[in-house]
Structure 1
Amino acid sequence: MPLEPYQRGTSWWARGRVEYSGIPITGYYRRSTGASSEAGAWQWCREEEERQVRRHLLGEDSPITFAEAVLLYPAKPKEAGYLLKIVPEIGETPCAQITPRQVRALAQKLYPAASTDTWVRQVITPIKAVINNAHDEGKCPPIRIKGFSTAERVAQDKARNKLSRPERRPGSWEWIDQFSAHASPYLAALAEFMFETGARIGQAVALRPHDIDLKQLRVMLPASKGHPAQWVSISPEMAIKLANLPPKRPKDRRRGTIMDPRVFGYAGHNGPLKAWRTACTNAGIDYLPPHSAGRHGFYTELRVRQGLDPITAAKAGRWANPALPDRIYAHNETPDSEVRALIRTSRVHRPGRKPLKSMNGGRK
């Protein structure tokens, strides 16, 4: 039977064979089209039929394998590390034959003790990126791979006896003050800078002297997470702290070279981590990683403690979608017992409330 679409859950798949003059020229298809509508699925079927007929008649090159697709993909260093483990497993498989089920199974095989979030980040995402990049080049069909469900995440966490998404605790001014009292001036200024601006640690340590405009009370934060480099306001107090930090030229230990001057004196985002943990220990405070103390603390301070509206708080932290920081970066700090007390208080003090009648309706 010729290719035709059919609905499977919320997506559309294709089944059948590609035929030419009534004779099948491909194997049987049972594959996701990547389309969310029937019209899109039909278009995929027609394009796939044209491609296979062209290959049949003109003898076009054989289907691209995953290893060949990797060579077309401009992988970043971290992605390249993930792909080095993936290619030996499916490198010789044509991209068009790789199924979502196969990819999810591969993630569990490669990282049996990892969380489902790690499976997505280190297997599903790079495989999707490679195949869809090859599709953009006209080499193979695209692929859509769903992640893992909440039930699967909980089951894997139970199997490895470790939570994959522990509740983050945000920083506060009290935490920052105690931390700073036991940190070097550079590390203390770094922690306070991230808390005040919501900057990521990679952005903060990358700051160079010419990125600071003390007269205008602003700094040029480097690009990060798809956002362009941009000017961010700082307080007069922060400007004074930065003005009193002589720039340092850190050493690039990997290359053995001296780098250009940096505001906080660290070569990269890993540079302050050891001293950061030591400062927490010496201060006798809970260890909060830089992202929790800084970016999570920044949004929780504005949104929860100060009551700033979500649109303004998200814009200040450079989030494009205000719903995201409310979901991830705003942390509740009110004990459950106080919440219950508030519910009772609102009942007692509501206007026009009448006294409750006794259980027996007032009868003696």
Structure 2
Amino acid sequence: MLFTLYKRGDIWWYQGTHEGKRHRGTTGVKRRDEASRKLIEIQERILKESEERKSGEKLTFTRAAIFYRKAGKPLRFVEKMEDYWGETLVSEITPGRIKQAAVEIFPKATGATRNRHVIVPTQAIINHAASLDLCAPLRMKRFKVETKTKKPATWEWVQEFMKHSNPHLGALCCFMFLTGARVSEAVDVRWSEVNFLTSKVLIRQTKVGKERQAHMPPELVKALQAIEGEREPEGKVFKYSSRHTVKPQWNKVFRRCNIEYLTFHSCRHGFATTLLHRGVDPITVAKLGGWADAQLVFNTYGHAMRDETLTNVLVTNPDTAESHKVVKLNVNKVVSGKE
């Protein structure tokens, strides 16, 4: 590596070649001694980038995945990507090839599915290797995702569902709504993780690879105590092996009675939406429900707050709240022509 300094105006610039590639740029300083120190830093950076490229040229995806697993990272969808990329060199896995793989693996899926199952795990494994200086980081755009308005469950809906379901299924529904747990997390809860004395339950968040202690409101404690029976400490609370065994029983409830069909996730959606409507800030909602990012909570669930009259709370207090109701009632009478 041979680099030299030269002056353009008042500023010192550098130029030189390394491994057949020409490098040229400004040091951004006017003094020769400062420019020399800058040049040393620039040369070290170029050497490091060169070594990273060499490592990346030999690193296979399988090897990168091993480092990822050893670091205790979330393994959701990782195995499928390991099978697909196998011994492919990381240096050969480009954004274009990853998108092509997503379409090939999921030809009829939505952009969200392709992102979640292919792009996210592939990029996570490569970028973890990059953090170890084994390859260059991978940046890419994801498939466009159409945002769908989710229907949130309400406490009234949950109570109606519980009336028409068996005790375990009803308690499961109640659990998801009052803790914000995903269905896969809920069915994995053991009795040893439920503490009735402190009203706490341990929830293993499989999606983000973390654990959290969730509070159990009195209504949830009552629902769980109703199915406690002769429990086994390490036995599952709800006795379902997975979300797939819950699904048939869930669907039967709607065939038996006349209540609106909602999905498992509507309970988690209702948890966030209800708290936001009650004035709880997104940061607190994210913490209580196990979301990694408060901005995600706001972007996903904030749309539910559409009542323009909510701005009344800016000037409403306990002494004037009733007067606001009266004013609104009188306005409605005038508009309807009844007064």
Same fold (TM over 0.5): yes
How far apart, CA to CA, are the structure 1 residues paired with 2:48 and 2:76? Answer: 34
In the alignment, which residue of structure 2 is the partner of 1:269?
243
| Conserved? CA contact 2:130–2:136, under 8 Å | yes
Q: Using a 3 Å threshold, how does the CA distance of structure 1 residues 263 and 119 change in structure 2: closer, same or farther? A: closer
Q: Identify which range, 121-130 or 175-184, moves more after superposition.
A: 121-130
Higher helix share: 2
Q: After superposition, what is the alpha-carbon deviation per residue over 1:104-150, rounded to whole angstroms, capped at 9, x for unaligned?
A: 233234333222222222222232233234434544322222223x4
In the alignment, which residue of structure 2 is the partner of 1:322?
294
User: What is the correspondence of 1:157-196 to structure 2 with a 5 Å cutoff?
Assistant: 165-196=147-178
**Matched position secondary structure for 1:186:** helix
Q: Using a 3 Å threshold, how does the CA distance of structure 1 residues 78 and 226 change in structure 2: closer, same or farther? A: closer
How far apart, CA to CA, are the structure 1 residues paired with 2:100 and 2:44? Answer: 29
Give unmatched runs, 5+ long, in structure 1. Answer: 3-16, 29-38, 154-163, 251-258, 340-348, 350-364
In the alignment, which residue of structure 2 is the partner of 1:76?
75
Identity of aligned residues (%): 29
| Conserved? CA contact 1:83–1:126, under 8 Å | no
Q: Using a 3 Å threshold, how does the CA distance of structure 1 residues 41 and 327 change in structure 2: closer, same or farther? A: farther
| Conserved? CA contact 1:212–1:220, under 8 Å | yes
**Matched position secondary structure for 2:184:** helix
Matched, 1:297 2:270: yes
| Conserved? CA contact 1:249–1:265, under 8 Å | no
In the alignment, which residue of structure 2 is the partner of 1:345?
none
Q: Using a 3 Å threshold, how does the CA distance of structure 1 residues 303 and 136 change in structure 2: closer, same or farther? A: closer
| Conserved? CA contact 1:247–1:263, under 8 Å | no
User: What is the correspondence of 1:1-364 to structure 2 with a 5 Å cutoff?
Assistant: 19-20=18-19, 24=20, 45-50=46-51, 63-70=58-65, 72-74=67-69, 76=75, 78-87=77-86, 91-92=87-88, 94-148=89-143, 150=144, 153=145, 165-226=147-208, 228-246=210-228, 260-292=234-266, 294-304=267-277, 306-332=278-304, 334=306
User: Aligned Cα RMSD in Å?
Assistant: 4.0
| Conserved? CA contact 1:196–1:234, under 8 Å | yes
In the alignment, which residue of structure 2 is the partner of 1:6?
none
**Matched position secondary structure for 2:202:** strand
How far apart, CA to CA, are the structure 2 residues paired with 1:272 and 1:44? Answer: 55
**One-letter amino acid of the counterpart of residue 47, structure 2:** R
**One-letter amino acid of the counterpart of residue 298, structure 1:** F
* Structure 1 residue 298: Cα displacement: 1.0
**Matched position secondary structure for 2:213:** strand
TM-score, normalised via structure 2 length: 0.67
| Conserved? CA contact 2:81–2:122, under 8 Å | no
**One-letter amino acid of the counterpart of residue 181, structure 1:** K
How far apart, CA to CA, are the structure 1 residues paired with 2:188 and 2:62? Answer: 35
**Matched position secondary structure for 1:329:** helix
Q: Using a 3 Å threshold, how does the CA distance of structure 1 residues 86 and 238 change in structure 2: closer, same or farther? A: same
Q: After superposition, what is the alpha-carbon deviation per residue over 1:297-356, rounded to whole angstroms, capped at 9, x for unaligned?
A: 11111212x3334344343324454332122134527589x99xxxxxxxxx9xxxxxxx
TM-score, normalised via structure 1 length: 0.63
**Matched position secondary structure for 1:270:** helix
Number of aligned residue pairs: give it. 280
How far apart, CA to CA, are the structure 2 residues paired with 1:290 and 1:207? Answer: 16
| Conserved? CA contact 2:192–2:234, under 8 Å | no
**Matched position secondary structure for 1:232:** strand
**Matched position secondary structure for 2:214:** strand
Q: Using a 3 Å threshold, how does the CA distance of structure 1 residues 260 and 270 change in structure 2: closer, same or farther? A: farther
